[in-house]
Amino acid sequence: MSEPTSTLAGNHPIRTLPSPELGPPWQRDAPPAPPRGTSQDGHPPSVHLQEVAMMSEATESHLAPAYGRLLTLLADSPHVDVFLDQVVRVAVEVVTPAVGCGMTVRRDGPAFTVAASNDLAARADEIQYGADEGPCLHALHSGGIVEVPDLRRDDRWPRYREHALELGIACSLSLPVTIDGETVGALNLYATEPTAFAAKARRQAVAFAEQSTAALTVILRQAEQALVHQQLTDAMASRSVIDQALGVVMGQQRCTATEAFALLRQASQHRNRKLRDVAAEIITQVTGKTPQPASEFVVARRDD
């Protein structure tokens, strides 16, 4: 059907514009656009923002007790392994569809499970180590979240898939544990029903993993500081024993401290023994007792 035309003087045809009520032909059958200030479903954007905020608040309120327990664990756990053992147990309680949780870590060698909430989680992790493939290893290597909604329909890791299905695992969610820009582990959640980690459960798991990582960062730094302190203490103790031996050698040989130290070092190299051990042997021979390091320097308290 040709478009309507009209003529002006000179018989030059021009096209007439469509009626404003009808609009262009390609828009006449389209549904009317929503009013300004509304979304495609006709609701104001504020309605959707409120829904998102309500879901976020619900997630936060559900995780609030878990955050409190993490802080308590951080204060009460003297060792990293004790802390991680409790983390995986709390994770199963927080992310309710999960039936098991394991923590995979990797330092200088192969990956291994440092903590597991139950036997299912431990065996699921071990299957992946044996097969050298699986979601937790993928998360560990890639540094990204790896979700398996339905393992029956997922063929990314065939060697892992076969044995995991026999174990009863149908779904999993692996979340990387990243500290100072380095992925050092993965928190592995397992479920026996497909699509267990849907939107709400996934948000809870991600939030809990982030809080756990933050707490783990603190406890690792505390452990590192404790290790440095212990190393300094050991070094001071060794130096104290060596200094005592130097005094003995100086008295016996009537020499300077520099000359006494040279004699000690020569004996250490000749016997292929540590300098501290040689020094301890000299003190034991003279006193008949095992040398004791000097006590730490402590500022005495004044009683006013």
Instruction: Report pLDDT for 159.
Output: 96
CA 17 – CA 52 distance, rounded (Å): 45
8 Å CB contact between 40 and 34: yes
Mean pLDDT calculated for residue range 54-80? 57
Q: Tens of pLDDT along 31-62?
A: 455 454 444 444 443 333 333 333 344 445 55
Tell me if 58-222 shares its fold with 229-287.
Answer: no
User: Residue 85: is its pLDDT beyond 70?
Assistant: yes
SS (HEC) of 173-232:
EEEEEEECCEEEEEEEEEECCCCCCCHHHHHHHHHHHHHHHHHHHHHHHHHHHHHHHHHH
Instruction: Report pLDDT for 172.
Output: 98
What's the CATH architecture for 229-287?
Orthogonal Bundle (1.10)
Residue position matching structure tokens 């001071």: 236
Over pLDDT 70: what percentage of the chain?
65
Instruction: Report pLDDT for 229.
Output: 60
Instruction: Report pLDDT for 265.
Output: 84
Q: Tens of pLDDT along 116-167?
A: 999 999 999 999 999 999 999 999 999 999 999 999 999 999 999 999 999 9
Burial class (CB in 10 A: 0-12, 13-18, 19+), 99: buried
What's the CATH architecture for 58-222?
2-Layer Sandwich (3.30)
Confidence grade of residue 23 (pLDDT, cut at 50, 70, 90): very low
User: Residue 230: is its pLDDT beyond 70?
Assistant: no
Q: Beta strands 100-105 and 112-116: pairing type?
A: antiparallel
Confidence grade of residue 68 (pLDDT, cut at 50, 70, 90): low
Confidence grade of residue 96 (pLDDT, cut at 50, 70, 90): confident
Number of other CB atoms surrounding residue 128 within 10 Å: 26
Q: For CA atoms 136, 142, 143, 146, give the dihedral sign.
A: negative
The domain limits of the chain are 58-222, 229-287
